[in-house]
Chains A and B, each alone.
Chain A
Amino acid sequence: MKFVVAVKQVPDTAEVRIDHERGTLIRDGVPSILNPFDTYALEEALKWRDTLGGTVTVITMGPPQAEAVLTEAISMGADEGILLTDRAFAGSDTWATSHTIAEAVRKITGVDAVFCGKQAIDGDTAQTGPGIAASLDWPQVTFVGRVREMTDRSMVCERYVETGIQVLRVTLPAVITVLKDANVPRIPSLRGKMRARTFKPVAWGALDLGLTPGETGLEGSPTKVVTTATPEARAGGSIHRGTPGELASIMADLLLGREGTR
């Protein structure tokens, strides 16, 4: 089997502060990490490769330093890493990013499945995975909490949605986005770390993928950020004590906007 995992280098949001005046993130001095949701996608691909045989190729799009997340994936057991890096990619929104990654998947050829994390913790859009599928014109299953089975023709996924669990069989090739319920990501192995030390990713730019400026980067991105704002902090709420009967009466008063009796 030939699996691809699309990963993203993101700022460690636990360390990010907000510039309230500008409404932007202060990224200076914030460490970059492999998007945590992508580790579940990677583990799922590695797990099925270990079971069925084949290879796992990790792809990321970003500046040259994004190589670090590929190296991390190699230390966890990925076989290959491809870095999509080019000034022409700068400013890509999720549409352009999806299209660019999809072109890379096409260029690899013979891919059976693309695994993505549910979403990235910086943008939180959850659009890139579905975008890759749309661009490739492959079926997609989002929010996968468990991959039940896989053959060279199809896989059966459990899709965790608000109303319950949907069990879907999807023909391959396909794209899935993975939830953290799916697995416990493995810890890097010693051999993986030894390999990662000398690892150099394949680097592809816009020309390698046959992309024109209108298809990627700022020009290929229909999204325009007009403004960003921080939501106002909510009020603290109130705590009431009493018997269940008293509390029910207080809650009814509050919900109906009535003056409380106490």
Chain B
Amino acid sequence: MDYMLSEDLMAIRDICAEIAAKHIRPVRAQLDEENRFPREIMGVLAQSDLFTIYIPEAYGGTGMGSLALCVATEELSRACGGIAVSYAANALGAMPILLFGTEEQKQKFLPPLASGEKLCAFALTESEAGSDAAGIKTRAVRDGDHYVLNGTKQWITNGGEAQIYTVIAMTDPTRGARGATAFIVEEGTPGFTYGKKEDKMGIRASSTRELVFEDCRVPAENLISREGMGFMVAMKTLDNSRPGVAAQAIGIAQGALDEALVYASGRRQFGQRIDSFQGIQFMLADMATSIEAARALTYSVARMIDAGKGRFEKESAMAKVFASDVAMKVTTDAVQILGGYGYMKEYPVEKMMRDAKITQIYEGTNQIQRTVIASALIRETAAGKR
């Protein structure tokens, strides 16, 4: 389908496709096998200005916005979901600063992110605070012109690889979600170390790691927004970033469909190509249709965000839920079409199936997304907006 992308967006897609062909496809299986972070590829993305697209021109970016980020993430994900999330997680990490940072914070932290000199990560989840983000235990206590952080963040994408972290910690545990505050913590801050590196089912090229804070002194000027605004900062950040997860899911699904189509045209059984069998044809048709529907929804939400009008948490959640469910279904069907070969590591579709699963889980499980959607529907109805 033609989404009437601007020349800039088509340029972004072409650049990502070329990087995928030359730098990602040749190494994706190896990075997956070795659980290895794609540092060199991050350098290639930086040189091609891809870290500039979600950062305004005033801070060294190109200010292309949400749809541009979706287009880039989708095209990279088509080749490797793990490498793509290592890229997209930077936008997630930078989002609190972009949305709520002071002018000084933006001037200081955004230019090195735009150039790719530094990477970024967002740290909300803890062992006992996943979907229930208000249950976080990491404490931040004011001490003069610093805050002292204690606690452990878990499953942080780009953990150990990023140099700038946006961290949600409790400044007032008695107030629940309203006692949370967001901070910028730089690598090398005394008391800030990295813990366990996770061994994951999929997106294994990405780094997922614990962040450990032990009497970590963070300058008060690194506080984002105000004390008690942390939960709001986190939720608005996720509302903005969810189309990125949807784009990742669409890319993974598209990659799997691409593989299934090529395989089905070459594989012969009973004396004919298997794509001549209606059973396979219907699967391929459903896969392509669901991907297109997910893409249309996601691009529409991204355009809504770029237009800067109104609330979009419901639509953002819809895109994430729908696209990630599509990705799981399409990648599973791709493995089915490739049959025994699909189950083997010599073919890329089993990895795509493993990579797809996380999109239903992270940045808010699909169950949480559905509660977000339902809450918005009920609220809108009560307000007479429906």
Contact = CB atoms under 8 A, between A and B. Distances in A.
State whether these chains interact: yes
A189 B62 CA distance: 12
Nearest to A190: B49
B48 A187 contact: yes
Interface stretch (A134-142, A191-199, A241-249): A191-199
Contacts of A193: 11, 14-15
Nearest to B72: A190
A185 to B, nearest CB: 9
Interface residues of B, number: 18
B48 A189 contact: yes
Contacts of A53: none
A190 to B, nearest CB: 4
Nearest to A75: B11
B7 A188 contact: no
Contacts, number: 40
A193 B7 CA distance: 10
Q: Which of B11, B14, B62 has the most CB of A within 10 A?
A: B11
Contacts of A17: none
Contacts of A189: 15, 47-49
A187 B7 contact: no
Contacts of A186: 44, 47-48
A191 B7 contact: no
Q: How large is the interface on A (under 10, 10 to 19, 20 to 34, 35 or more residues)?
A: 10 to 19
B53 interface: yes
A197 B10 CA distance: 12
B363 to A, nearest CB: 25
Interface string A163-192: 000000000000000000000001111111
B11 A187 contact: no
Interface string A195-208: 00100000000000
Contact of A190 (B22, B23, B44, B62): B62
Given A190-B53, A194-B11, A194-B62, 14 more contacts: A186-B47, A187-B15, A187-B47, A188-B14, A188-B48, A189-B15, A189-B47, A189-B49, A190-B12, A190-B48, A190-B50, A191-B62, A193-B14, A194-B8
Q: Which 8 A-B pairs have the closest CB atoms?
A: A190-B49, A193-B11, A189-B49, A189-B48, A187-B18, A191-B49, A187-B48, A187-B19
